[in-house]
Amino acid sequence: MACADDTDDTVDYQITSEIDLHTFRPGEVSSLLREYFLECRKKEFLQVRVIHGKGTGNLREGVHRLLDQMPDEVIGYRLGNQDTGGWGATLVTLRPRSGK
């Protein structure tokens, strides 16, 4: 997956079953997560963890709103537990790609 910054340089990231949003600007999160979920589904990573931090809760709420808008890609989600990041992370179950 690649992400562009203000200088239009492309940065490649290794796709894993976890993404930490702390290094991204809020305006990047929606398109970033859509691309990330697509790549995860291609690699058949269907259980992923999105780390958004605890903070004020704005980023978490934005992530959850986006997940609610993706019923074709997302089966469900829940906050982490004490072992998976608590309310600073969201565990997402992705839908397998059809027609693999």
**pLDDT for residue 41:** 97
Instruction: Report the pLDDT averaged over residues 24-39.
Output: 93
Number of domains in the chain: 1
CATH number at residue 12: 3.30.1370.110
Identify the pLDDT of residue 35: 96
- Tell me whether residue 100 is in a domain: no
Does 99 fall in a domain? no
What pTM does this model have? 0.83
pLDDT at 53: 92
Number of H helices, E strands in the chain: 2, 6
What Cα–Cα distance (Å) separates residue 92 from each residue in 8, 11, 47? Answer: 30, 24, 6
pLDDT digits (tens, 9 = 90+) for 39-96: 999 999 999 999 999 988 899 999 999 999 999 999 999 999 998 889 899 999 999 9
Whether 34 maps to a domain, the answer reads yes
Q: What is the pLDDT, as a whole number, of residue 99?
A: 62
Cα–Cα nearest to 87, from 95, 97, 77, 100 = 77
